[in-house]
Amino acid sequence: MEIAVRFLGARPRTRWELERRLRRSAAEPDVIAATLDRLAVMGYVDDTAFARWWAEQRDRHAPRGRRMVEAELRQHGVPREVLEELRGSELAEPAFDGEALPGTEAERARAALDRHLRGRPLPSDYQARQRIGAFLMRRGFDPETVRSTIRTVAAESTPGGSTADLDGLRDEGP
């Protein structure tokens, strides 16, 4: 129990992560099971709560697409049933300080793009937009979301809201 509690001190963990840590410490299988069950009853091990926490941290600090967040959660041992349960619901909830976190895929893509640009305007040349699109796709956003986000930001940054120079964003690429 002491090893598990110390391991939980840094951040929330999944049941799978705790089980792996306890196995590495050469604990007996029955002791591991009893410890995990006791921690679950106490509320310290909850894979659903971990998934919500992880998604909120991602939205707050390094926005990712839903596919990327789900892949990261699978790497942390979140069961498929929990992912399917959360897939239909919005993972992010409003923060306690009143700051609304991005809830939709488009809002997360926009937050990631704004963070990447750091106040700079969106480049107007085709290759730069291709690189920005690739950046967003590496973060787990689907191509259609990437295209629409780049088009929206370009329309907002173009004087008068004209998108006439956006022919570089065809359907074959972001």
pTM above 0.75, yes or no: no
Going by C-alpha positions, the residue among 113, 110, 67 that lies closest to residue 91 is 67
Give the model confidence (pLDDT) of 98-154 as tens digits: 455 667 888 899 989 998 998 888 998 899 999 999 999 999 999 999 999 999 998
What is the number of other CB atoms lying within 10 angstroms of the CB of residue 93? 14
The count of C-alpha atoms lying within 13 angstroms of the C-alpha of 133, restricted to the half-sphere facing its C-beta, is 25
Residue 13 is encoded by which pair of tokens? 């963990």
Cα 87 versus chain centre, distance: 12
Cα 129 versus chain centre, distance: 23
Q: What gap in Å lies between CA 158 and CA 70, rounded to an integer?
A: 35
Average pLDDT over residues 29-56: 94
Give the model confidence (pLDDT) of 81-104 as tens digits: 999 888 766 554 444 444 556 678
Residue 102, pLDDT score: 67
Average pLDDT over residues 20-46: 94
Residue 99, pLDDT score: 55
